[in-house]
């Protein structure tokens, strides 16, 4: 089980931890509905210890990754960034990442649970390219700040995925404008040894600690897919709402032919949709059934504080994905709903 750099610090401050697919993360700090409110209307600070940074260095780092990733990383200037995907040649999702361009490196922020798979897939394709994929020294910790008060508390104003070094309560850190829940937020890269100091500084400025219960509730409401839950090696990129991670104008990249063919055809056979649940608590993976036949399955289930009650994300075949369609998920009634749910 992986413990984050902030684990002991947050446990001493009331965090109730949970095993989140092999990473021990704060589930809640007390009242998850108040934590959710901070995500939506104030500022909430999140332990993003399930994400990690891979540094791409070497003279060919840009040209190599331009030919591998779905977004146009060659256009990035230092201080800029973008979301992106690594696909298989069949157009299926290996990993998603946030890119930050530096003078001498490209930083790839990815889920730690797919980091090794992504690095291994890329390294297999390095032939004569001058590029290395490295960890960070000294080690970094990632902290999220979510909510409309984010920029005010951090004292920075950045374009989408832009980043800069700044001082946060006496701690030097890189701040990138990016969100885990599709809202106003930033990800802070800090030397792991100073992560606790940075956390306490953010709390002093008014940020409320929030755990995965509140974060996942909002993520599902917003319809933001997560690698390993809502997309994986069985998922076509066009089946999930990740349009901002795919360039429609750049040249070839891994899986590009499949993406282009699906785009030209104008549809896919299934899609990730939002669902409101009533009358039961189905588990992730539960089939979605219409007229006795499976037409999809649930990928994420969470308490949606803003939507009121349980909500889910799931794949549904095109004949059944219109909002208002009622499906069965175990004992629960699952109604397809437009995203965001709240």
Mean pLDDT for 193-199 is 98
pLDDT tens column, 23-63: 999 999 999 999 999 999 999 999 999 999 999 999 999 99
- Check residue 217 and give its pLDDT: 97
Mean pLDDT for 304-321 is 95
**Mean per-residue pLDDT over the chain, rounded:** 96
- Check residue 110 and give its pLDDT: 98
- Check residue 32 and give its pLDDT: 97
**Percent residues over pLDDT 70 in the chain:** 100
Residue 266 confidence (pLDDT) above 80:
no
Residue 283 confidence (pLDDT) above 90:
yes
- Check residue 267 and give its pLDDT: 80
Residue 92 confidence (pLDDT) above 90:
yes
Residue by residue, what is the 3-state secondary structure of the chain? CEECCCHHHHHCCCCEEEEECCEEEEEECCCHHHHHHHHHHCCEEEECCCEEEEEEECCCHHHHHHCCECCCHHHCCCCCEEEEEEECCCCEEEEEEEEEECCCCEEEEEEHHHHHHHHHHHHCCCCCCCCEEECCCCCEEEEEEECCCHHHHHCCCCCCCCEEEEEECCEEEEEEECCCCCCCEEEEEEEHHHHHHHHHHHHHCCCEECCHHHHHHHHHHHCCCCECCCECCCCEHHHCCCHHHCCCCCCCCCCHHHHHHHHHHCCCCEEEEEEEEECCCCCCCCEEEECCEEEEEEEEEEECCCCCCEEEEEEEEHHHCCCCCEEEECCEEEEEECCCCC
pLDDT bin (cut points 50, 70, 90) of residue 265 is confident
Mean pLDDT for 197-216 is 98
Domains of the chain: 1-267 (3.30.1360.120), 269-342 (2.40.30.110)
pLDDT tens column, 215-249: 999 999 999 999 999 999 999 999 999 999 999 99
- Check residue 251 and give its pLDDT: 84
- Check residue 87 and give its pLDDT: 97
**Percent residues over pLDDT 90 in the chain:** 96
């Amino acid at each position: 089980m992986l413990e984050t750099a902030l684990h002991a610090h947050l446990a001493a401050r009331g965090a109730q931890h949970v095993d989140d697919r092999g990473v021990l993360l704060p589930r809640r700090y007390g009242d998850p509905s108040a934590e959710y409110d901070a995500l939506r209307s104030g500022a909430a600070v999140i332990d993003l210890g399930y994400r990690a940074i891979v540094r791409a260095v070497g003279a060919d780092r840009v040209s190599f990754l331009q030919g591998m990733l779905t977004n146009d990383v060659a256009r990035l200037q230092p201080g800029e960034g973008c979301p992106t995907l690594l696909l298989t040649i069949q157009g299926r999702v290996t990993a998603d990442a946030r890119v930050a361009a530096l003078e001498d490196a490209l930083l790839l922020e990815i889920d730690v649970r797919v980091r090794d798979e992504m690095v291994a897939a890329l390294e297999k394709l390095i032939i004569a390219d001058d590029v290395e994929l490295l960890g960070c020294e000294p080690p970094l910790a990632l902290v999220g700040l979510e909510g409309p008060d984010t920029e005010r508390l951090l004292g920075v104003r950045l374009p989408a995925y832009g980043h800069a070094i700044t001082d946060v309560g006496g701690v030097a850190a890189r701040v990138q404008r990016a969100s885990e829940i599709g809202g106003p937020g930033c990800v802070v890269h800090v030397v792991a040894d100073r992560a606790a100091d940075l956390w306490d500084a953010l709390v002093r400025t008014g940020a409320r600690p929030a755990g995965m219960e509140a974060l996942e509730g909002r993520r599902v409401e917003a319809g933001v897919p997560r690698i390993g839950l809502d997309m994986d090696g069985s998922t076509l990129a066009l089946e999930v709402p990740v349009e901002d991670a795919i360039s429609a104008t750049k040249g070839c990249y891994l899986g590009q032919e499949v993406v282009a063919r699906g785009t030209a055809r104008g549809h896919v056979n299934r899609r990730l949709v939002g669902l409101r649940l009533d009358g039961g608590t189905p588990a992730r993976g539960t089939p979605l059934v219409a007229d006795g036949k499976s037409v999809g399955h649930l990928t994420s289930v969470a308490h949606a504080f803003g939507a009121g009650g349980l909500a889910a994300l799931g794949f549904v075949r095109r004949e059944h994905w219109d909002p208002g369609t009622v499906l069965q998920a175990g004992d629960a009634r699952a109604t397809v709903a437009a995203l965001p749910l709240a």
